[in-house]
């Protein structure tokens, strides 16, 4: 797609070649004028060697754009010539988050900066709290850090469920830590869904890796039941590692939350085999589809309460203990 001189037909400075390389051939007119004359830029555009992709944003070739180049266009267009930060789910996708692609290109600007004409599909967010600690400096694309991106994605989510999902997935894929999220939240006392982000991050860091598990933990706490361990690791009789969604060690009770993937025949057998091994060891297992946890929380809580009582939990004590 590119030739050695970035399709200019002339020799470029080392600094400009480096900039073009970093930005995948996308530059703002403001950046280009530091290295090329206005007449040179007009010639490159009129000759078809370069083309204008948005207002004062240029690309040093005449082919189609790659995904990375589209992100650079969004950053430079919104940043009014200076790179703006990709943020939220867009930044998380750049960092490699799987299974939850962004619904748009999300860009974060300092509140003092203005942009009235973002490219199609680009959503501009503004903030009064953006420090150097929020900027990821080790990547090719300008992004907020993972922790800041998680918090912003949760704040901009269309629902609480969507916010919890993106947090859980970031922790499941080991992209951030509870300490990192807490440090960013300390700088954002007015962040939207702040308490939800903090609670969900704490649960996810503790091992709850799905929205169904997070919902189950929420209703268990609200009912005053003992708090279980999430993603408890045990070994079956064959020595294989098994991960249990929710586990009360003192009462040897397991609760499994089944998402849609559990309908797959192979997954269903794996679930059944795991349950068989637990029963063989003499422990109790309850299973609930994730949709039942959401739509029938009272039944889920009552079944768990009855199982705990049957296993010896002193329900009349009225105090919650972590097991």
Predicted local confidence at residue 204, as pLDDT: 84
Which pLDDT band, with edges at 50, 70 and 90, does 112 fall under? confident
Given 205, 223, 253, the domain boundary residue is: 205
Task: For the chain, give the mean pLDDT.
Answer: 85
H helix or E strand, kind and range, residue 51: strand 51-54
Q: Which residue has the higher pLDDT, 1 or 150?
A: 150
**Domain presence at residue 9:** no
List strands edge to edge, sheet with 105-110: 122-127, 105-110, 85-86, 143-144, 135-136
Statement to judge: residues 274 and 161 lie in one domain = no
Predicted local confidence at residue 149, as pLDDT: 98
Spatial CA neighbour of 293 closest among 240, 243, 241, 257: 257
Statement to judge: residues 220 and 250 lie in one domain = yes
Number of Cβ within a 10 Å radius of residue 51: 13
Predicted local confidence at residue 290, as pLDDT: 85
Q: Which residue has the higher pLDDT, 1 or 24?
A: 24
What CA–CA distance (Å, rounded) separates 38 from 29?
Answer: 9
**Domain presence at residue 323:** no
Predicted local confidence at residue 283, as pLDDT: 84
Statement to judge: residues 254 and 191 lie in one domain = no
Contact (Cβ atoms closer than 8 angstroms) between residue 323 and residue 248: yes
Burial of 310 (0-12, 13-18, 19+ CB in 10 A): exposed
Statement to judge: residues 141 and 249 lie in one domain = no
Statement to judge: residues 77 and 195 lie in one domain = yes
Predicted local confidence at residue 119, as pLDDT: 92
Which pLDDT band, with edges at 50, 70 and 90, does 79 fall under? confident
Residue 111 is classified by DSSP as: T
Statement to judge: residues 188 and 246 lie in one domain = no
Given 46, 65, 84, the domain boundary residue is: 65
What CA–CA distance (Å, rounded) separates 230 from 74?
Answer: 40
Its pTM stands at 0.75
Which pairing describes strands 284-289 and 253-258: parallel, antiparallel, or unpaired? Answer: parallel
Task: With a cut of 90, say whether residue 267 has pLDDT above it.
Answer: no
Percentage helix, strand, coil for the chain under 3-state DSSP, each rounded to 5: 45, 20, 35
User: What tokens appear for 54 in the block?
Assistant: 């948005």
Structural domain harbouring 61: 14-65
Q: How many domains does the chain have?
A: 3
| 273-293 per-position pLDDT tens digit | 666 666 666 788 898 888 899
**Domain presence at residue 109:** yes
**Domain presence at residue 8:** no
Average pLDDT over residues 73-101: 92
User: What tokens appear for 266 in the block?
Assistant: 């192979």
H helix or E strand, kind and range, residue 255: strand 253-258
Which pLDDT band, with edges at 50, 70 and 90, does 68 fall under? very high
Spatial CA neighbour of 134 closest among 193, 180, 90, 168: 180
Average pLDDT over residues 240-265: 73
Predicted local confidence at residue 121, as pLDDT: 94
Which pairing describes strands 57-59 and 26-28: parallel, antiparallel, or unpaired? Answer: antiparallel
| 198-239 per-position pLDDT tens digit | 989 988 887 777 788 888 999 999 999 999 987 655 554 555
Task: With a cut of 80, say whether residue 138 has pLDDT above it.
Answer: yes
Average pLDDT over residues 251-269: 70
Average pLDDT over residues 24-48: 91
Predicted local confidence at residue 92, as pLDDT: 97
Statement to judge: residues 173 and 246 lie in one domain = no
């Amino acid at each position: 797609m590119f030739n050695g001189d970035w399709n200019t037909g002339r020799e470029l400075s080392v600094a400009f070649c480096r900039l073009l390389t970093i930005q995948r051939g996308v530059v703002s007119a403001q950046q280009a004028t530091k290295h090329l004359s206005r007449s040179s830029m007009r010639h490159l555009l009129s000759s078809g060697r370069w083309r204008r992709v948005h207002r004062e944003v240029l690309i040093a070739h005449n082919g189609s754009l790659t995904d990375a180049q589209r992100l650079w266009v969004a950053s430079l267009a919104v940043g009014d010539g200076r790179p703006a930060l990709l943020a939220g789910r867009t930044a998380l996708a750049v960092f490699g988050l799987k299974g939850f692609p962004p619904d748009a290109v999300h860009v974060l600007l300092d509140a003092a900066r203005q942009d009235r004409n973002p490219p199609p599909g680009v959503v501009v967010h503004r903030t009064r709290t953006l420090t150097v600690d929020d900027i990821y400096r080790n990547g090719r694309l300008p992004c907020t850090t993972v922790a800041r991106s998680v918090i912003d994605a949760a704040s901009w989510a269309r629902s609480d469920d969507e916010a919890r999902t993106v947090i859980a997935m970031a922790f499941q894929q080991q992209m951030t830590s509870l300490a990192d999220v807490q440090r960013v939240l300390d700088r954002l006392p007015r962040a939207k869904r702040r308490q939800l982000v903090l609670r969900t991050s704490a649960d996810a860091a503790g091992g709850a890796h799905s929205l169904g598990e997070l919902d189950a933990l929420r209703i268990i706490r609200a009912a005053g039941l003992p708090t279980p361990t999430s993603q408890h690791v045990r070994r079956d009789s064959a020595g294989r590692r098994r991960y249990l969604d929710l586990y009360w060690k003192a009462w040897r009770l397991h609760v499994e939350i089944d998402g849609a993937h559990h309908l797959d025949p192979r997954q269903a057998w794996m679930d059944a085999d795991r349950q068989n091994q637990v029963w063989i060891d003499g422990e109790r297992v309850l299973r609930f589809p994730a949709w039942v946890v959401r739509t029938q929380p009272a039944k889920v809580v009552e079944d768990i309460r009855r199982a705990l009582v049957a296993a010896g939990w002193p329900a009349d004590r009225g105090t919650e203990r972590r097991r």
